[in-house]
Amino acid sequence: MTALSKKQQTEFEAAAFRRLVAHLRERTDVQNVDLMNLAGFCRNCLSNWYRQAAEAEGVPLSKDESREIVYGMPYEDWKNLHQTEASDAQKSAFELNKPHK
Protein backbone atom coordinates (compact mmCIF):
# COMPACT_ATOMS: atom_id res chain seq x y z
CA MET A 1 0.00 0.00 0.00
CA THR A 2 1.19 3.50 -0.79
CA ALA A 3 2.25 5.39 2.30
CA LEU A 4 0.12 8.49 2.67
CA SER A 5 0.99 11.56 4.62
CA LYS A 6 -1.49 12.61 7.30
CA LYS A 7 -2.41 15.57 5.09
CA GLN A 8 -3.12 13.31 2.11
CA GLN A 9 -5.16 10.93 4.24
CA THR A 10 -7.26 13.81 5.56
CA GLU A 11 -7.74 15.27 2.08
CA PHE A 12 -8.77 11.91 0.60
CA GLU A 13 -11.15 11.20 3.48
CA ALA A 14 -12.70 14.65 3.05
CA ALA A 15 -13.10 14.07 -0.69
CA ALA A 16 -14.77 10.70 -0.06
CA PHE A 17 -17.09 12.32 2.50
CA ARG A 18 -18.06 15.08 0.05
CA ARG A 19 -18.75 12.48 -2.63
CA LEU A 20 -20.90 10.41 -0.26
CA VAL A 21 -22.89 13.49 0.76
CA ALA A 22 -23.36 14.50 -2.90
CA HIS A 23 -24.51 10.98 -3.73
CA LEU A 24 -27.02 10.95 -0.87
CA ARG A 25 -28.33 14.37 -1.94
CA GLU A 26 -28.90 13.04 -5.47
CA ARG A 27 -30.55 9.81 -4.29
CA THR A 28 -33.56 11.36 -2.61
CA ASP A 29 -35.48 8.22 -3.58
CA VAL A 30 -33.51 6.28 -0.98
CA GLN A 31 -35.20 6.82 2.34
CA ASN A 32 -33.30 7.00 5.63
CA VAL A 33 -35.16 3.94 6.89
CA ASP A 34 -33.83 2.00 3.87
CA LEU A 35 -30.29 3.13 4.64
CA MET A 36 -30.69 2.13 8.29
CA ASN A 37 -32.10 -1.26 7.36
CA LEU A 38 -29.37 -2.02 4.83
CA ALA A 39 -26.31 -0.25 6.18
CA GLY A 40 -27.00 0.57 9.81
CA PHE A 41 -26.63 4.32 9.29
CA CYS A 42 -28.49 7.12 7.53
CA ARG A 43 -28.18 10.78 6.66
CA ASN A 44 -29.06 11.75 10.23
CA CYS A 45 -26.30 9.50 11.59
CA LEU A 46 -23.83 11.12 9.21
CA SER A 47 -24.89 14.59 10.33
CA ASN A 48 -24.53 13.53 13.98
CA TRP A 49 -21.02 12.22 13.36
CA TYR A 50 -20.15 15.50 11.64
CA ARG A 51 -21.49 17.51 14.57
CA GLN A 52 -19.62 15.33 17.08
CA ALA A 53 -16.36 15.80 15.16
CA ALA A 54 -16.86 19.56 15.16
CA GLU A 55 -17.64 19.62 18.87
CA ALA A 56 -14.57 17.48 19.61
CA GLU A 57 -12.54 20.29 18.09
CA GLY A 58 -14.37 22.94 20.12
CA VAL A 59 -16.60 24.11 17.27
CA PRO A 60 -20.22 24.31 18.39
CA LEU A 61 -22.59 23.08 15.71
CA SER A 62 -26.29 22.57 16.21
CA LYS A 63 -28.21 19.50 15.11
CA ASP A 64 -30.03 21.62 12.52
CA GLU A 65 -26.78 23.08 11.18
CA SER A 66 -25.13 19.69 10.78
CA ARG A 67 -28.21 18.27 9.11
CA GLU A 68 -28.28 21.15 6.64
CA ILE A 69 -24.64 20.38 5.77
CA VAL A 70 -25.56 16.78 4.94
CA TYR A 71 -28.99 17.34 3.37
CA GLY A 72 -28.02 20.49 1.44
CA MET A 73 -31.10 22.26 2.79
CA PRO A 74 -32.95 22.56 6.07
CA TYR A 75 -34.01 19.11 7.26
CA GLU A 76 -37.70 20.05 7.43
CA ASP A 77 -37.57 21.16 3.78
CA TRP A 78 -35.96 17.85 2.76
CA LYS A 79 -38.56 15.87 4.68
CA ASN A 80 -41.41 17.80 3.04
CA LEU A 81 -39.93 17.33 -0.43
CA HIS A 82 -38.60 13.77 -0.27
CA GLN A 83 -39.55 11.74 2.78
CA THR A 84 -42.34 9.22 2.45
CA GLU A 85 -44.17 7.30 5.14
CA ALA A 86 -42.29 4.12 6.02
CA SER A 87 -44.12 0.95 5.05
CA ASP A 88 -44.99 -1.68 7.63
CA ALA A 89 -42.23 -3.87 6.18
CA GLN A 90 -39.67 -1.06 6.53
CA LYS A 91 -40.76 -0.40 10.10
CA SER A 92 -40.56 -4.09 11.00
CA ALA A 93 -37.08 -4.39 9.47
CA PHE A 94 -35.97 -1.29 11.36
CA GLU A 95 -37.17 -2.74 14.66
CA LEU A 96 -35.17 -5.92 13.98
CA ASN A 97 -32.03 -4.06 12.86
CA LYS A 98 -31.95 -0.93 14.99
CA PRO A 99 -28.79 -0.43 16.98
CA HIS A 100 -28.96 -1.44 20.62
CA LYS A 101 -27.63 1.22 22.96
Domains in the chain, CATH or no CATH each: 41-93 (1.10.3340.10)
Q: Indicate the pTM of the whole model.
A: 0.88
Nearest to 25 by CA among 63, 66, 72, 68: 72
CA distances from 1 to 4, 7, 44, 74, 96 (A): 9, 17, 33, 40, 38
Q: How confident is the model at residue 1 (pLDDT cuts 50, 70, 90)?
A: confident
Tens-digit pLDDT profile for residues 32-53:
999 999 999 999 999 999 999 9
